[in-house]
Amino acid sequence: MRSMHMTSLNMRMHKRRSRRRRGKKSKNEDTQEEACSREEETSAGPVPRSASVRPRRHVWTVGYVVRGDKTPAKKTTKRETLAKKMQTRLEQGPKRQESHTSSSIHAALGEALVLGNLFCFFFPDKMNIATDEFGNPFIILREQEEKKRLKGIEAHKSNILAACAVADTLRSSLGPKGMDKIIVGPDGQVTVTNDGATILNKMQVEHQCARLLVELSQSQDAEIGDGTTGVVILAGNLLSQAYRLIEKGLHPLRIADGFEKASQLAVERIREVVMKKDVYDADKELLVHAAMTALGSKVVSSHQRHLAEICVQAVLTVADRERNDVNFDLIKVDGKAGGLLEQTMLVNGVVLHKDLSHSQMPSVTKNAKIAILTCPFEPPKPKTKHKLDIKTVEDYKKLQAAEQKYFTDMIQKVKEAGANFVICQWGFDDEANHLLLHENIPAVRWVGGVELELIALATQGRIVPRWEELTEAKLGHAGVVREISSGTMGDKMIVIEECKNSKAVTVVVYGGNQMVVAEAERSMHDALCVVRNLIRDPRVVGGGGSAELAAAIAVENEADKIPGVEQYAVRAFADALTGVVEALAENCGLSAIEEVQRVKVKQRTENYPYFGLDCMLKGTDDMLKQNVLETFSSKANQIMLATQVVKMILKIDDVIAPNDYQ
């Protein structure tokens, strides 16, 4: 019994000693925490007198960094408890917003408190707290996520490099042998093209100055329609030359002034070497060659002659010769997948992607007299609420007879007007459709308003809004109206053609798939724009880089006469023009520097500004003999627009984001 009593007594004493040790240890930890707080307050500097009235609390953030490669042990509960206490102080106490540099952080690292195999650091509240897979907290400095704001020369360089990156994207797409690009949209839609404006429109450009080049390409496309790739490459070359001059110490404004003078000299030189032609009669072939030059770099280049002739014929059909202008709204370019490019045709009229209202109606109508209606082939409906109760068979027969009479009167009015073909904006009632079939009058329903206007322009007809106004004088006339099947899917189309004095035409483009059709439509648009520009301004220059080289030679000659540092900017402008021709030579597989210098020397020695690059290897450098021609308006517009955008970029020395002034 005595031994058992001693054993239980020893156990109770052992438990008491264990409790004392745990209490002393927790007290030491609390003391250690208070010591850390005193050290932090001491390092914060002297306390002002006002602090005695309202003490200022300093809030600190805690973070752990594992020393070496040791994995934290499971016995880290007390360290985590200390971290949670400090985090609670961070959340409850008032925050002091301070800016801390890397030097102040390193100074705080020197005052780190060592806890076991972990370092515990205390930083001001300029950071975020995160935890790793073991539950240990660590710090994320907010300053690491903030971008440094650039100003002055550094901002100039950053803007130039961003814009040059966009220009380099299009460099390989220049010329008749330029490469295509595949652009994948956010929704997964794929676009294959080498059109500069289309590529930049599909790209998601974020940099502000890079967007200026995107807008530059859009401006060239809206004003001229062609040269969207060349204008961006010229702007990129000018910015590259400006970057080189800035590195040498030239002020950006002096560079911009030099570029402005050089652009005027270049445009003046191109104006001196233009050739003015009569594009309506004697020089109609000139329009074809200019359109072929625009189509030479596209996917349709193998059929450029056929497509160029279609474009010229379409523009000349709708051109206003008195004002020397072309209304593109009268030219409809329509694509159909499932055919060959050589099947592309020009319809001297309108093409509707519709079918006849009844499959048994005649598919061909010659000498068509077309009634163009915007009133429905249905009984009138009351505009107010109305209810009609039919309770007997006699009442139903009366209603049927009234509807039958209404439809019969409509068909009779069509026949009295002399129409043998009906086009309606709205739908047909089944009874009316049956009566039209019975009278052998073909009809098309659900035709859009824009298409109705084109039909009226093509057939010299009038749109009839009410049945009472339908007369013979308002009918449209066409040589033939036929329903055809197109593509491999057998889709039906209504073709209205052989219209006399037609002012509306349709170009039907065929292709192997929808991507080829879309690219062919863009190519036809560029060629149509080239022909339209020649109608407006019938002046042409040589292609193949001959105009750029002639302008570069003239600018170099005038650079020696310009005093001051602007002379360097003028020479750089000439180098930028030469760089466009070098990009053209690279894409054609030629030795860029050697070939460009050879042609340049040839222009100087023979004083013949029509020597260019023989990209198609025809054996001559004379662009007039190769019939490689471009419009003067396109070349002049490229130089002026590119210079304006480059001047704007060179004058930007700071980019202020919304967060910078909030």
Catalytic residue among 125, 221, 226, 526: 526
- Smallest CA-to-CA distance from 581 within 230, 271, 238, 160 is with 230
Judge whether 271 and 264 are in contact, CB under 8 Å. no
- Smallest CA-to-CA distance from 371 within 301, 496, 283, 463 is with 463
- For residues 113 and 109, give the distance between their C-alpha atoms in angstroms, rounded to a whole number: 9
Alpha carbon separation from 12 to 6, 9, 25, 344, 481 (Å, rounded): 10, 5, 20, 105, 113
- For residues 473 and 461, give the distance between their C-alpha atoms in angstroms, rounded to a whole number: 8
**Annotation marks residue 195 as catalytic:** yes
DSSP state of 573: H
- Residue 468, CB half-sphere, CA atoms under 13 Å: how many? 0
**Annotation marks residue 526 as catalytic:** yes
Helix H or strand E segment including 284: helix 284-295
- For residues 268 and 277, give the distance between their C-alpha atoms in angstroms, rounded to a whole number: 19
Task: Indicate the angle between helix axes 304-318 and 284-295, nearest 10 degrees.
Answer: 130
Residues in the chain, how many? Answer: 662
Query: What is the b/e burial string over 473-497, where b = at least 16 CB atoms within 10 angstroms of the residue's CB?
Result: ebbbbbeebbbeebeeeeeebbbbb
**Annotation marks residue 491 as catalytic:** no
Judge whether 489 and 338 are in contact, CB under 8 Å. yes
Catalytic residue among 228, 344, 365, 643: 228
Q: Residue with structure tokens 């409850």? A: 92
**Annotation marks residue 228 as catalytic:** yes
DSSP state of 59: P
28: its two tokens: 């030491």
Judge whether 196 and 217 are in contact, CB under 8 Å. yes
- Long-range CB contact pairs, 426-434, < 8 A, 24+: 426/374, 426/375, 426/376, 426/377, 426/378, 427/376, 427/377, 427/378, 428/357, 428/376, 428/377, 428/378, 429/377, 429/378, 429/379, 431/403, 431/404, 431/407, 432/377, 432/378, 432/407, 433/357, 433/358, 433/377
576: its two tokens: 């930028």
Q: CA angle at residue 425 from 423 to 429, to 5 degrees?
A: 85
575: its two tokens: 């180098």
- For residues 278 and 213, give the distance between their C-alpha atoms in angstroms, rounded to a whole number: 35
Q: What are phi and psi of 351, to 5 degrees?
A: -115, 130
Beta strands in 523-571 (DSSP E): 539-542
Catalytic residue among 61, 76, 198, 229: 229
Catalytic residue among 61, 125, 193, 195: 195
581: its two tokens: 């021709």
Please identify every residue annotated as catalytic. 195, 228-229, 526
